[in-house]
Amino acid sequence: MIEQKLKNFFGYDTFRPLQKEIVEHVLSGRDTLVLMPTGGGKSLCYQLPALVLEGMAVVVSPLIALMKDQVDALLSNGISAAFINSSISAFEIDTIQESARSGALKILYVAPERLSMGFFLNFLRDTPISFFAIDEAHCISEWGHDFRPEYRNLKNLRDKFLKIPVVALTATATSRVRDDILAQLKMTDYKVFSSSFNRPNLHYSVLPKKNTFDSLVKLLGKYPDESVIIYCFSRKETESVAESLVLAGFSALPYHAGLDGEVRQETQERFIRDDVAIIVATIAFGMGIDKPDVRLVVHYGLPKSVEGYYQETGRAGRDGLPAECVLFFSPADRMKQEVFLREISDPAERDNGYRKLEQISAYGEISGCRREYLLRYFGEPWERQNCGTCDRCLAPSATFDGTLIAQKILSAIIRTGSAFGAKHVIDVLLGRSLAKVLERGHDRITVFGIAKDFSEEFLRQIIAQLIEKGLVEKASGQYPILKVTSVGMVFLRDRASISLREPQEVVGVDEEAEKSVDYDQELYARLRALRKQLADKRGWPPYVVCGNASLEEMAVYFPQSRDSLSRISGIGQQKLEQWGDLFLGVIVDYAREKGISEKPKVGSVSRAPVRKAALVGTTYGETKKMLLDKVPLAEIARRRGMVIGTIASHVEKLMETDPNLDIDYLKPETERFDEILSAFREDEKWALSPARERLGGELSYDELRIFRLFIRR
């Protein structure tokens, strides 16, 4: 029975992972906690049981816009639903309540504060209720990233409605938050369903916060006319970036809490209806947005926590199609956040804020897989060596013998008293005669200037790796002091060796990434225009009519009958009756015009990989173009605003993917070639540091990196 309703009302032939088990458990009448990532299909876990059970399901939702979107989508599927909140009149509320009492409503959305109103509780007591569904349940926990005091009212639900089961749903809950949800909602006879937090269709990358706006413009160029959300740190930055984008020719609007309520509402509606492509916002935007076709989410600055970042990036690709999540990262952004944290009077709250800031900063600095970091944060193991969809895995760094530089860094931490953060330790290693260094006498210790051949960014990335490997620990709180761990002390004592990843510029994704599926783009554009027209007539977002995935399938199979159209994923009985002939008219006319026949659909659409691990079109591609033009390395670095070492690492990576790339013009002219060759051959790993040591430190790492390219060919 539930499979039939799944197809008739929602247009799907099969459930997503865990959905069927959750639906069956809700139908059994017991409490349920659902931990499922954004885009995983949480809503269906309570919407489908509501259709089967007697009575009306009451759904608690935090934002008005989210309620309206959900109700519009349900109505378009032929499901009786409504919402009650401050945006509607008393007369409308009375009408909805009367409809609920009569049994005509299956799903009612309400705001959490309404459950503290006596007259509303009396209405609920007079109405047959199948269950309560608490959406965004993490808002009930003060340990969550988005605690809302009004959600605390929900803890009285069990006392007032003892026999009515509760379904709590969230996309971002650590074990501590999960336990708090269970306690606050007084769940006893419950079952926890935890779906994978992995969003395989999302690509994660981190870009250096340098020439940031130019990088943003280039990024947006990959997504013409697609929906994009850009998160900024402040209201001022939000308006500045939006204004600059408009001047650059983009369709963009700002959104933040300082704008008039009507302006915010209009901006949100324009974005949802595809009248504006880009929203530049503070975190005030997005929680109430259920727009499935956001193709890009950009964080222009550092988020406050990993939970917040995960939820905000989760607004990308909810339709299951490929989407991109980019963070512009700079350690300086951490300092901006710290200014606000220092003003928090509650020590526990302040320490919690520093801890969360440290965790999201680590995400920006890690040298390993970003997907693995996110999943392990939420307690989910990740055993794959390469996720294939983050910048670190698509362009993995070469490794080198990091023993010597690790020893220098650990020694510097110890010699400075294990009482300073990374910035001071790096200043000492680089031999910077700054006031804070001189006044502490750190210009007179043996480690002063012993790493002056390296850049600050190089040392910062190496320190991050030493933290990852457990040789160094960074204190949480206001002062992120570095200390050498017991593992690090053993490493120094035993003169052990260590292999590290060579620091490199973090890069974006392939601009020529594969599309999700090979569909007819001209037909897709015509179908998309029809969808927009149908949605505008009803004041609905286009995705309520049908999703992008449905349009893509139509543009793959060219269905030319109602029966064929019904096999398209997402086209249920109601949509088939209401709009089927209109979509068929466009498809039939196009197929006749192009001489295309209908293709039979067997099973589900086979989608291409989200991203291909190529270097062309990324920052590497720009370097490659200049190499082909025989531009000297120093000039490439100057034009691109990078250090020569970064360009040298680009050349190495390009040679790995294209061994026939002509770089002979870079070959050094030196009488010491044989000596240099011997220095490298003494170490099977062809590492830079040992070779440089054997050669007396006369050559720079950049020079050696280029030598190595030719002696290994």
Asked if 23 and 149 sit in the same domain, the reply is yes
Mean pLDDT confidence for 239-256: 91
Q: Is 70 exceeded by the pLDDT of residue 611?
A: no
232, 300 in Cβ contact below 8 A?
yes
Tens digit of each residue's pLDDT (9 = 90 or more) over 201-225: 999 999 988 889 989 999 998 888 8
Q: Which has the higher per-residue pLDDT, 74 or 641? A: 74
Query: What is the residue-averaged pLDDT of the chain?
Result: 84
Q: Which has the higher per-residue pLDDT, 58 or 397? A: 58
Determine the pLDDT at residue 684.
54
Specify if 600 maps to a domain: no
Spatial distance between the Cα atoms of 406 and 11, rounded to a whole number of angstroms? 57
Pick from 13-17, 417-421, 545-549, 699-703: least confident: 699-703
E-only strand ranges, 399-553: 399-401, 472-474, 482-484, 499-501
- The model's confidence at residue 509, banded by pLDDT at 50, 70 and 90, is very low
CA-atom Rg of the chain in angstroms: 29
Specify if 610 maps to a domain: no
In this structure, what token pair is assigned to residue 175? 């074990």
DSSP 9: I
Tens digit of each residue's pLDDT (9 = 90 or more) over 17-27: 889 999 999 99
Q: Is 70 exceeded by the pLDDT of residue 8?
A: yes
The distance of Cα 32 from the centroid of its chain, to the nearest Å, equals: 27
Mean pLDDT confidence for 85-92: 88
Determine the pLDDT at residue 153.
78
Mean pLDDT confidence for 530-557: 90
Asked if 6 and 58 sit in the same domain, the reply is yes
Specify if 26 maps to a domain: yes
Write the single-letter amino acid at 202: L
Asked if 102 and 11 sit in the same domain, the reply is yes
Mean pLDDT confidence for 112-141: 90
CATH code where residue 657 lies: 1.10.10.1390
Residue 20 main-chain phi, psi, to 5 deg: -65, -45
Mean pLDDT confidence for 304-317: 90
In this structure, what token pair is assigned to residue 7? 């197809």
Asked if 160 and 212 sit in the same domain, the reply is no
Determine the pLDDT at residue 614.
41
Determine the pLDDT at residue 141.
82
Determine the pLDDT at residue 616.
41
Tens digit of each residue's pLDDT (9 = 90 or more) over 282-296: 875 655 567 889 999
Determine the pLDDT at residue 347.
83
- 215-221 contacts at long range (C-beta below 8 A, 24 or more positions apart): 215/328, 215/508, 216/241, 216/245, 216/298, 216/300, 216/328, 217/245, 217/248, 217/250, 219/296, 219/298, 219/326, 219/508, 220/245, 220/250, 220/278, 220/296
Q: How many of the other CB atoms lie within 10 Å of CB of 53?
A: 18
Of 705, 712, 713, which Cα lies nearest the Cα of 644? 705
The distance of Cα 229 from the centroid of its chain, to the nearest Å, equals: 11
Work out whether the CA dihedral 522, 527, 531, 537 comes out positive or negative. positive
Q: Which has the higher per-residue pLDDT, 680 or 141? A: 141
What's the CA angle centered on 421, arms 418 and 424, to 5 degrees? Answer: 95
E-only strand ranges, 300-384: 323-329
In this structure, what token pair is assigned to residue 713? 């060919």
Q: Is 80 exceeded by the pLDDT of residue 578?
A: yes
Determine the pLDDT at residue 201.
92
Determine the pLDDT at residue 511.
42
Determine the pLDDT at residue 414.
95
In this structure, what token pair is assigned to residue 207? 């870009």
CA dist list (Å): 164 to 44, 105, 325: 19, 17, 40
Asked if 381 and 481 sit in the same domain, the reply is no
- The model's confidence at residue 175, banded by pLDDT at 50, 70 and 90, is confident
Asked if 227 and 169 sit in the same domain, the reply is no
CB contact set of 370 (below 8 Å; sequence gap of 6+): 204, 205, 206, 363, 387, 390, 391, 392
In this structure, what token pair is assigned to residue 565? 């159209």
Q: Which has the higher per-residue pLDDT, 54 or 670? A: 54
Instruction: Tell me which of 373, 394, 415 is where a domain ends.
Output: 394
The per-residue DSSP string of 500-523 comes to: EEPP-------TTPPPSS---HHH
Pick from 109-123, 219-233, 484-498, 686-700: least confident: 686-700
E-only strand ranges, 284-368: 294-299, 323-329
- The model's confidence at residue 687, banded by pLDDT at 50, 70 and 90, is low
Asked if 99 and 8 sit in the same domain, the reply is yes
- The model's confidence at residue 692, banded by pLDDT at 50, 70 and 90, is confident
Q: How many CA atoms lie within 13 A of 395 on its CB side?
A: 29
Judged by DSSP in three states, 648 sits in: helix
Work out whether the CA dihedral 379, 42, 309, 365 comes out positive or negative. positive
Asked if 30 and 176 sit in the same domain, the reply is yes
Mean pLDDT confidence for 516-534: 85
Judged by DSSP in three states, 682 sits in: coil
Domain around 635? 619-711
Of 277, 381, 307, which Cα lies nearest the Cα of 38? 307
Name the pairing type of β-strands 482-484 and 472-474.
antiparallel
Instruction: Tell me which of 450, 466, 501 is where a domain ends.
Output: 501
Determine the pLDDT at residue 510.
42
Spatial distance between the Cα atoms of 159 and 140, rounded to a whole number of angstroms? 17
Asked if 240 and 360 sit in the same domain, the reply is yes
Determine the pLDDT at residue 671.
66
E-only strand ranges, 348-445: 399-401
Specify if 516 maps to a domain: no
Determine the pLDDT at residue 602.
61
Q: Is 80 exceeded by the pLDDT of residue 668?
A: no
pTM score, two decimals?
0.65
Asked if 328 and 473 sit in the same domain, the reply is no
Q: Is 80 exceeded by the pLDDT of residue 114?
A: yes
* Number of structural domains in the chain: 5
Spatial distance between the Cα atoms of 562 and 575, rounded to a whole number of angstroms? 11
Token look-up 């809700």 returns 26
Specify if 607 maps to a domain: no
DSSP 302: -
Determine the pLDDT at residue 688.
66
Token look-up 């309570």 returns 46
CB contact set of 128 (below 8 Å; sequence gap of 6+): 54, 55, 56, 103
Tens digit of each residue's pLDDT (9 = 90 or more) over 463-490: 988 988 889 998 866 678 999 999 999 9
507, 622 in Cβ contact below 8 A?
no
Mean pLDDT confidence for 144-155: 76
Residue 603 main-chain phi, psi, to 5 deg: 75, -155
CATH code where residue 558 lies: 1.10.150.80
210, 261 in Cβ contact below 8 A?
no
Judged by DSSP in three states, 39 sits in: coil
Q: Is 90 exceeded by the pLDDT of residue 690?
A: no
Q: Is 80 exceeded by the pLDDT of residue 582?
A: yes
Asked if 209 and 81 sit in the same domain, the reply is no
Determine the pLDDT at residue 519.
83
CATH code where residue 474 lies: 1.10.10.10
Determine the pLDDT at residue 459.
92
Specify if 53 maps to a domain: yes
Determine the pLDDT at residue 410.
96
In this structure, what token pair is assigned to residue 331? 């350690």
In this structure, what token pair is assigned to residue 575? 């949509």
Q: Express as a percent the part of the chain with pLDDT over 70.
A: 88
Determine the pLDDT at residue 279.
95
Specify if 448 maps to a domain: yes
Specify if 550 maps to a domain: yes
Distance linking the first and last C-alpha atoms of the chain: 65
CATH code where residue 118 lies: 3.40.50.300
Tens digit of each residue's pLDDT (9 = 90 or more) over 349-361: 888 888 888 899 8
Asked if 390 and 403 sit in the same domain, the reply is no
Tens digit of each residue's pLDDT (9 = 90 or more) over 330-384: 878 888 888 888 888 888 888 888 888 889 988 988 888 999 999 988 888 887 8
Q: Which has the higher per-residue pLDDT, 533 or 610? A: 533
